[in-house]
Structure 1
């Protein structure tokens, strides 16, 4: 019999194989759209063998749109200013794994090895993220069945194609869920996954709020009340000084945690400044065909005479400047009539996120008013009388912040993959309203007996009746998975 955690593990593998097969099929059946997008310059002297063509046939549909930037960075580094919008941990990991694979797959050229490495890393990161997401969901929701359903829905996320393509979503989701779990467990090393997530995607820095929240719980409702009680009680007044020292130790810990979490991001910005704002950068290590492409397209390159305006800023951070210059990202800048289709594309996930947040506040208004959400120290088994346990509070605030940010600033169609890889709320909300319920010895079970003994079969495949809500959820999740894979693999506009 397969426990839910093992079922999630195997189904996550099945879902990735399905997406890879789907993009292969769609890429073969439909010609690529001639998109006006960045394509990493090709080295005309690079040998292309039969095996290289085979790799392109198998995985070419996973290298569209922004994937070209990640592939370019993995091969050549940050050779153009616009590549600074893509953070380094994922492409540098791809480069390292690619060098190892090159010694094994010596018949392949560098481009093919990079593609294989990128797909392999995403495959592994997604499977690990699905398993840790189940653990996180069970810890917060306090219910095995709901956690299982949420993890299954995560495996067929509307952003599935981006979890498989050569994007950083899978790595970011894994590090984000790992950060959340480490914060809940009050791990001393929570700064490590948070710091790494901050050099995968810029919104990884927001994850520092989780250990800060846990520390505030300790301080406001455990440490300070204990100091007051011991001070008033003469019998234990001598222990007050020791408790005050513990509070200062906690302050130092959270300070160090936040400092270490943001240090990788700061070092990255320092590297960017040295590379593009000083004359120390050595362009001789950049291949000639890459330099020629940059010259022909008027791209700013390291060590050049032309310096960008962000170099003269008081705090020279390239990210926001580049997002605005090359992608027109900014406050309400995407609100144009021609972008209405993209708003419809993002509407489902924005609706789900906002509805989940509003329902949480309505259901827990008494606990929130009395600040009981801060008093809940331990994530214990929670009664299922409530859909939204009060312990969800930090995830609700995190999801609210990201949702508002998506509505106001980003290219709105990106909301699906940004929220789908950074917040659990999409999957938790949909899991709570699915009709799947199986009673086993008067207890709710995660699967029926036949499915428990199968690696691959899940309730979505064998359910006899589907409610209207079930159908809407499946249409949204599977529809975006299939249509998104078709659109993306053929260089057509998608999220």
Structure 2
């Protein structure tokens, strides 16, 4: 591809990076402002008892050069970050800490022992761990924004969106690696195996009914199954690690109740026992304010799903096996940006390349008036933009639907915003509202208003240990 084509794309990527960094700096400034003006609700974050295990030596027992700076950083350790920093510092000491998967603590430890190790004597070990957590999550946020543009629990969003991008781009093995790592960051990362199942299902269908090659279908199913297993392995391995540490070597009378189950799954027991997570267990009158807090993001999720279903019912209800006109789809990978048969690919690429070059050299847009609506026709966009209403959106929409239902019926509903933040259909639908005329655009402005209010209120409450999502 020529430089004239790459230059605008690189320019847009750079713009995305700058916007993401600016948003992070703005949020950090708001947090510092609120921390200065308001006393935190819980002041226990500086507490730092010794690790239970002697294998984890306290590294901050020497003289610290700037203890006040270190103390200020430690004061910002609130909510789940208390667990993540403690795990990075002392390992998995208590049963409930196994609800927090190991990828983020591992990244924090790695960064604190390499790049940030000179700061240990300056601000203290625990403050360095907190600083490493800030860096990991904010860098992941920026990179996740780039991946989302090409195709936020920032680390999980990066791995989930990155895996989906590579899968759609045709790099299935790379996608498996990213999805597997997402399972090390959050338990719902294992749901990303559904994308591989969807791809395998379509590839097997092509092999049997379109290519008439049954042996190829068997190969496709085996490869797909192995890829899905690879995505599950990190989460299963972590559960086995917890079982070994807590259950192994104890008699039945001494072991925890979950150790005696036929499938001893530590994660689900912790969520149920310590946090009261379970089907309809949060449906209580006193939790009504939390349902109201979650209503905007859940409403957006439901509207996103309904919009796609109503726009392309044939594709959705046939799981992509039929096109919008009711005909069987042609042979092509259902999760790929390149859906062009090889025999026609060269000709189309030459044709599209010529059109895009003309677009970026002359920089003209065709315009058309249709009724009272003003429409811009962009030839580059019509050829290259992600197909919002196409087959590969089916698994994305089903994934969002399952996540939203889980957040509403099973989880603590107030965490829905963070839980659903890595779902691409939410942003696709919101962007369509913003670019739609009339009523749609007004709804888009309401989304902007909600997002702004969420940032302002969230940075105030969350950073000061007040209840928030």
Q: CA deviation at 1:134?
A: 0.7
CA distance in 2 between partners of 1:227 and 1:24 (Å): 61
Q: State the secondary structure of the residue aligned to 2:204.
A: helix
Corresponding residue to 1:196 among 143, 166, 181: 181
- Match runs of 1:5-154 below 5 Å: 5-34=13-42, 41-43=48-50, 46=61, 49=64, 51-57=66-72, 60-61=75-76, 63-105=77-119, 106-136=121-151
CA distance in 1 between partners of 2:444 and 2:310 (Å): 24
CA distance in 1 between partners of 2:252 and 2:185 (Å): 27
Q: Conserved in 2, the CA contact under 8 Å of 1:64 and 1:489?
A: yes
CA distance in 2 between partners of 1:478 and 1:211 (Å): 35
Q: CA deviation at 1:14?
A: 0.9
Q: 1:40 to 1:269 in 2, by over 3 A?
A: farther
Q: 1:390 to 1:270 in 2, by over 3 A?
A: closer
CA distance in 2 between partners of 1:276 and 1:182 (Å): 38
Structure 2 partner of 1:257 = 227
Q: CA deviation at 1:27?
A: 0.7
Q: Conserved in 2, the CA contact under 8 Å of 1:342 and 1:412?
A: yes
Q: Conserved in 1, the CA contact under 8 Å of 2:42 and 2:464?
A: no
Tell me the alpha carbon deviations over residues 148-203 of structure 1, each in whole angstroms, 9 at most, x when there is no partner: xxxxxxxxxxxxxxx5xxxxx11100010011112223322322111111121110
RMSD: 2.9
Superposition TM-score, scaled by structure 2 size = 0.78
Tell me the alpha carbon deviations over residues 312-352 of structure 1, each in whole angstroms, 9 at most, x when there is no partner: 11111111111111100001011111111110000000000
Structure 1 partner of 2:405 = 404
Q: 1:244 to 1:119 in 2, by over 3 A?
A: same
Q: Conserved in 2, the CA contact under 8 Å of 1:38 and 1:69?
A: no
CA distance in 2 between partners of 1:131 and 1:212 (Å): 26
- Match runs of 1:458-477 below 5 Å: 468-477=442-451
Corresponding residue to 1:219 among 191, 197, 204: 204
Tell me the alpha carbon deviations over residues 382-432 of structure 1, each in whole angstroms, 9 at most, x when there is no partner: 689x964443111100000001111110000010100013x1122111111
CA distance in 2 between partners of 1:368 and 1:471 (Å): 29
Structure 2 partner of 1:427 = 427
Q: Which has the higher contact order (CA 8 A, sep 6+)?
A: 1
Q: CA deviation at 1:436?
A: 8.2
Structure 1 partner of 2:256 = 308
CA distance in 2 between partners of 1:394 and 1:127 (Å): 25
Q: CA deviation at 1:135?
A: 0.9
Structure 2 partner of 1:452 = none
Q: CA deviation at 1:306?
A: 4.5
- Match runs of 1:261-280 below 5 Å: 261-279=231-249
Q: State the secondary structure of the residue aligned to 1:188.
A: helix
CA distance in 2 between partners of 1:194 and 1:60 (Å): 33
1:337 aligns with 2:285: yes
Structure 2 partner of 1:372 = 322
Q: 1:108 to 1:39 in 2, by over 3 A?
A: closer
Select between 43-52 and 14-23 the one with higher mean Cα deviation: 43-52
Q: 1:468 to 1:59 in 2, by over 3 A?
A: farther
Q: 1:279 to 1:73 in 2, by over 3 A?
A: same
CA distance in 1 between partners of 2:110 and 2:123 (Å): 16
Q: State the secondary structure of the residue aligned to 1:335.
A: coil
CA distance in 2 between partners of 1:178 and 1:480 (Å): 26
Tell me the alpha carbon deviations over residues 21-55 of structure 1, each in whole angstroms, 9 at most, x when there is no partner: 111111111001038x8886435984674524214
CA distance in 2 between partners of 1:469 and 1:107 (Å): 50
Q: CA deviation at 1:467?
A: 5.2
1:482 aligns with 2:456: yes
CA distance in 2 between partners of 1:78 and 1:304 (Å): 22
Superposition TM-score, scaled by structure 1 size = 0.74
Uncovered stretches (5+) of structure 2, i.e. residues with no partner: 1-7, 51-57, 339-380
